[in-house]
Structure 1
Amino acid sequence: MQPDPDKEGASNQQTALFAGGCFWCMEPPFEKLDGVLSVRSGYAGGATENPRYENYARGGHLEVIEVVYDTNRITYNELLETFWRQIDPTDAGGQFADRGSGYTSAIFYANENQRLAAVQSKENLASRGIFTKPLVTPILPASHFYPAEDYHQDYYKKNPIRYQLYRAGSGRENFLKTTWQHVPTVETDKTDMKEDLKKRLTPLQYEVTQKDGTEPPFNNEYWNNKEEGIYVDIVSGEPLFSSTDKYDSGTGWPSFTRPLVADNIVEHTDRRLFMVRTEVRSRQADSHLGHVFKDGPAPTGLRYCINSAALRFVAKDDLEQEGLAEFRHLFDK
């Protein structure tokens, strides 16, 4: 996938690619989301170059939308939730009145984090019992995105009457209303998730990860842990740090010179406590982890000062059984 060159280089901007049938109908729900910077209709997934509306399906392409979003304001998981609420994920032959391969649904992932999130989101949707048929929406590696013709972009704004007639006549509007009218919204789901976390986490873990708290130094679980293994997010389980990068900073908190998986770490400017610091949060769970400082040892010169309460330690001998075998090589000598 090729994001807009003007948007590259900003670490808080990422691109998502979704296929949900007619791209006219897929643009509006995403453009309304706070944190979405742009939405473009286009084609992707096929073998031909520069497809047009007249031939994209013959080349194996699908109608897709490219969503550029600010990770500081909206998460990929929230985009996924919006995506599922626009389609029939049980239909392998198209979407609503639009039939054929070019109108089928798909999630195209740009990186491993997006793939894992998409897989988990699909599994969660299946477990909720909203649909009685199997979910057939595939999760595929992103391919080159080709923008559609100008007249397709923001079609719902340029031709509002025709768009509304098409959307209702296609059967999409009625299907989505019938399917989702009694299902909690994203905001309600967030509230439910918070309540679930209160039950699953200790009071300290919840205070640290959800309320940006700080645990006491020298009186926490991992500050002096010298065992070999990796540290994962206490909420999501995403890999964050390794014992191979851990060192004694003398601060009383677990300290690391670098993240284990850089993409799983998000940094924010923190102006609380009358100072400017760089806060560290996890990508998927958005857990508050701690802060990073530029007073660490070589080779990075960085000190990731992390709360033990935000972490769960996985010993090297347990990596395989926890599905983290890819990190075992760090400890093989």
Structure 2
Amino acid sequence: MSERIKCCDRREFLTTAAAGAGLALLPGIGLPGAGKVWAKPAASVTPASTPESLVKVLYESFTPKQREAVCFAWDHAGPEGGPLRRHVSANWDITEHYVTDDFYNADQKALVRSIYEGIYNPEWVERVDKQLDDDAGGFGEQNSIAIFGEPGSEQCELVMTGRHMTVRCDGNTTPNFAFGGPIFYGHAAEAFDEEATHPGNVYWPQAVAANALYKMFDGAQRDVALVRTGMPGESNINFRDPQKHQGIPVGQLSADQQQHLREVLAKLVEPYRQSDRDEAMNCLLGQSVEGRSGLEACHLAYFAEGDIGDDGVWDNWRLEGPSFVWHYRGAPHVHVWVNVADDPSVRVTTG
């Protein structure tokens, strides 16, 4: 598979009748980190509008040619044969047109921006903007979108992709999956090969918290938790037989260690909106194996491989349960692959 996936041929853009979607172009405002001036949606699109309701407005504003380029049936096939909406990658274009392209008019660009902001925790939008500035020249410059299903129906999802980004907006209409399906986030803050402390990396504090837990382990626990060889490939996030999970069983941690792991988990989900955080936690509560359930059904592994600076601060680590994978690869820069569901039989495609 090529590094970038192109799913549609470039087509001529036809100007849309934005007024029919209830929008009016207002004076532009500078958005943090975007490097562009974006129009505000009309006042009728209120701050209380959900990302899903904005997806519907966006969909209704599209011309036939725009719909042909970015709108697909719910189970439209992807590059590996499974549904395209279940694909995830570190760097890909789900459709050909970037958000900043003239393919979209100003109102549509503003709507996409509002949907993007709504997917994230408001406290994280500026940090994700920084990631996009550093990695892709700003929001929308290398981000493309696709809509699967019809907004307002029982099955609809918008997917946004780009360098170091796959995020989804589904309003909990996607069966089994949290976040609407597998997601990806990453950051190369100052260089492709980052220093051991990952200066400026917005996601490195997650690893700092995870390593603080490792420091709480006694010698025997560290021996079990640290995997010296056999780190899974970073994109290997389909659910595995629990017998193949690596590291230390969470059920073997002390009460204070488990509490710290819950705090790490809170940091992992913190960038996303509350409804997605809640959905992920509900999926996690359903984990069950060998009499353990919830977080205790997971394993936590730290990998000696890829220790930048040989400082014993583990850049690569993985929290894994029967239908839960959060794989953090911190070398040479941060890549994080996430697959959370309530059914271990569901499959995703990666690449």
Does the alignment reach a TM-score above 0.5? no
**Rg larger in 1 or in 2?**
1
Q: Which has the higher contact order (CA 8 A, sep 6+)?
A: 2
TM-score (norm 2): 0.29
- TM-score by structure 1 length? 0.30
